[in-house]
């Protein structure tokens, strides 16, 4: 996948998870366990970092 595609997925996923986190604070009944939210954020962040370093390496080789 290209760097732009992964960035769009990353930003969209983070926005969705942040909305869920805010709703957890507002609502009496939590939608999702906070540890699951942070785990998904960490997974998105690690995929984004991995893809950026891979794409940067491919650009340097050209």
User: Helix (H) and strand (E) counts for the chain?
Assistant: 2, 0
pLDDT of residue 62: 63
How far is 48 from 9, CA to CA, in rounded Å? Answer: 9
CA angle, corner 51, sides to 45 and 55, nearest 5?
A: 145
How many domains in the chain? 1
pLDDT of residue 20: 92
pTM: 0.76
pLDDT of residue 13: 93
pLDDT of residue 32: 86
pLDDT of residue 24: 92
Q: In this predicted model, what pLDDT tens digit does every residue of 6-38 receive, in sequence order?
A: 889 999 999 999 999 999 999 988 888 889 999
Owning domain of residue 16: 3-61
């Amino acid at each position: 996948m290209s760097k732009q595609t992964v960035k769009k997925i990353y930003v969209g996923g983070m926005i969705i998870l942040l909305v869920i986190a805010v709703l957890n604070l507002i609502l009496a009944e939590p939608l999702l366990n906070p540890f699951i939210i942070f785990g998904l954020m960490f997974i998105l962040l690690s995929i984004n970092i991995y893809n950026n370093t891979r794409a940067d390496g491919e650009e340097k080789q050209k």
